[in-house]
Chains A and B, each alone.
Chain A
Amino acid sequence: MCGRTFDRQRVFLTLLLAAVASGRTPARAADAPRELDPLAPRHWRCIWTENPATVATLSWSTAAAGRQHIVKMAVVDPAPATDQERQRTVAAQHNGRFTGDDLELHYHHARLADLQPGTTYEVTLESDGHASPPLRFTTAPADDRPVSVIFGADSRSGLVERRQMNALMARMAAEARAAGRPPIVALAHGGDYVYDGNELSLWAQWMADHELTAGVDGHLLPIIPARGNHDHGEHFNQVFDFPAGDRNYYAVDVGPQLRWITLNTETVVAGKQTKWLAEQLADARPQYRWVVAQYHRPSFPAVKLPGRGLVHWVPLFEQFNADLVCEGDGHTIKRTPRLRANKIDPTGVPYIGEGGLGVGQRTPNAELWYLRAPDAKVGSDHHLQLLTFDREKLSYRVVLMSGEVFDEHAWPVRPPEQRAVPAVEEETEAPAAQAAFRAPATAKALK
């Protein structure tokens, strides 16, 4: 037994040292083992891909397979009424080895269901008796209270900056809790976590760095993940507990008045996904005060060329009056005015994002019609975008790595007539999308 443990340690250390020695990327170089025990839980994270008021996935990794992987959880806030509520143990339902031979790493996902909305749980993650430090997470509220979500993207390089941005998120979340401000309930990540999604060592480093979003109090910041163009391969689904082969487009309720739709620009856009989006928007628009979408490749880019969402999704956002669209990939800071039919329109849809969670920044093209001051604001710096949703407005704030606020804006809640479902069209596709096909939307957008 001791010999086997020693062997595991030796293999684990050898793999890490080999990764350090052979890699050009700092992802490998910086991956120093926190624990020598291969069954010590690491890479803890909380994932929201399904009704986060009552369901959350707690995930972690171990360097060896182990036999029993459980989550011990207890309600801490509000104070539980019964002992049964106080203590609960859930076995991880999905366990396996990450694919690839470059590193032995095993994932464990415990999907916790029947949770209480707006409730804080204390948890420990255990693999064969080896426990994580005590951690906490809070479910999404069921009542109509103001909530904040951090949007960010592109953490695939600049690892020092990535860690600083993660620490900044943890600090901001803790400050919001302490100051009684609207709680920062989740990080919506717009994709490009790593440089090459097929390299497990890069994911291992990302997961290790993501622990920093928990801060010193161990309060996990749930993540709502979108897939980026560098996140190809099987590891993405294994890291975020999607079924193998899943297309990674889904929607969650971050509170009763905020529908958060995650799209995938890295799979087929023109087919089922666009039809699904049309159904989602038609369903969500009259029910929710706020309807927000996120995805990776921008439709209104600040630097690069537009993605396929411009032709397929933008007409739907406009048809159903989405409140905000969050994009990544460009490595800049971007906020457009509200846009409709390739014009600035006060009833249109604003686009933000472009990604600054570590990756080196580009210079945005401020001459594009949708990025011109004073209607728009663009910049270049490591950043995150804090979105606060309340009954009257959606507040937007860009916070730089230094903590400085770069941009602030607010969009009022849409009037009721803009939140009604548009008349049902007989066409299978949104009429605006058909118009976009006839007119070269891309050329128009970039003029």
Chain B
Amino acid sequence: MLIIVDSGGANISSIRYALERIHMDSKLSADADEIARADHVILPGVGTARAAMDKLRRYELVECLRGLACPVLGICLGMQLLFSHSQEGNKAGNKAESEEGDVDLLNILPQQVKKLTAEPGKTIPHMGWNQVDWRVGESVEKSARKEQSEQPDLAQQKSTTHHKAHPLLRNIPDHSYFYFVHSYFVDANIDANAHVLGYCQYGRDQVSAIIAHDNFMGCQFHPERSGDVGSILLKNFTGL
């Protein structure tokens, strides 16, 4: 059974409907035993990191979630919860470099969730459809684009690239648009972070868009609201 963790986010029904559209049954639960027995777990989340963590602690789900061995997909705030700590809800005042007063998260991956950098002409929240670039196979994709007409065999190479990439990305073209809504982000820093599968650029910020670390996966965007590519991603996840 696919369990959606009842973390109190308002996007839970949209996720359920998206799963129904790909003919996948799901159940909403905040019960640790039930979640531990799941085949797949989706961790949604809309709202603040502090509110979501308070709820997970209240239902005693922190250790349960950390100990899961089945495929887990965090969506939006749910992805951020997989990291170690967040500036969101930091009453000390969100100083860029300070981590003091941050909200503790599930700490599956050691990285801080930060507020998007304010820049002239940049609107926050980051709301809308943004292009996600794959980390793996990026150079091949670029050359395939440039020399498309002369070298049709590169199209073959392009699909090979996808198969080499993480199964979560199967059949999703590089540079696809996904729907984002968030004010906090995890810096992709792709040279250092092997868990980043895809990233997008928003002003100066390089946003981790899709991540995977063992059985823990996450996307910053909303696959349930990202049209066809979002459905494919959910199908890929439920097929794992």
Q: Do A and B come from one complex?
A: no
Query: Which of B's residues lie within 8 Å of A, judged by CB?
Result: none
